[in-house]
Structure formats: structure tokens, C-alpha cells
Homo-oligomer: A and B are copies of this chain.
């Protein structure tokens, strides 16, 4: 632990929201589980029920057409003095194999018991997000 509250939230938060946009700039938005290795974010096309095969998913088609994405980590409180968010803007790549893919699978399983219990198929496609800018707002 380095005591940086932004890094701590990025490591600990259980859910993020991922925004992609198609080639015409129409945004799409989905909640995602993710792992963070201190540099990049990884989210998997996992075994939660999906609207179609991985390669047909809007987020995948959008990233293939337009790699710009945004990832938001926040928590809602009725006490608005406690609100905070962290916005990551960056570039997404699809990862289907290799050392980084393997290591990210390991991180996802370490973070989520649900993945250890079988919801992350061996070799599942990953989205890697490399931040270009991280903006933190509020009471972190």
C-alpha cells in the first residue's frame, strides 16, 4: 500500500462502468468487473449471460472501430459530501493470448472468487485499457 487514495480505489473497487463509442461517435455503456495492475485495466468477456457471442458484443465491435474508451469508478451516497469518482480515459485493445493475457486472467481470478469458481473461461477474450488521463473528483 502506498497510501495514494486514488490507487487504492482503483485496486479495490468491485465494479466500473465502461463507455465505448462506435465509428459515428454514438456511446455505449456497460458495467464491468475489472483488474488493475497499477498500469492497465483488464476486463473479460466472461460467462455472465450476454446478449450474443463475444465478438458480436457492442463493446467489442466499437473498440475494433474506435479504440477510445472511458472507464468510471465511483460510489453513490445519499450524503453528497461523500461523493467521489475516478474517470479513466484511454485506449482499448483486445487481448486473446500471450503473457499479458495470462497474467491478467490471473489477476481477475485473484480479485473475484466468482471467476475462480468457473465464470472466467480459460482463454476468454480480454479488453485492455491503457489510461491516457486519470481524473479524480470528490472525497477520496
Measured CB to CB, the residues of A under 8 A from B are 14-15, 17, 19-31, 48-49, 51, 66, 68-72, 74, 76, 78, 80, 83, 85, 87, 89, 114, 119, 135, 137-138
Contacts and interface: CB of A to CB of B under 8 A. Distances in A.
Most chain B C-beta atoms within 10 Å of own C-beta, residue among A30, A51, A71, A119: A30
B85 A25 contact: no
Contacts of A83: 31, 48
A78 B48 CA distance: 13
A5 to B, nearest CB: 17
Contacts of A76: 14-15, 31
B19 A28 contact: yes
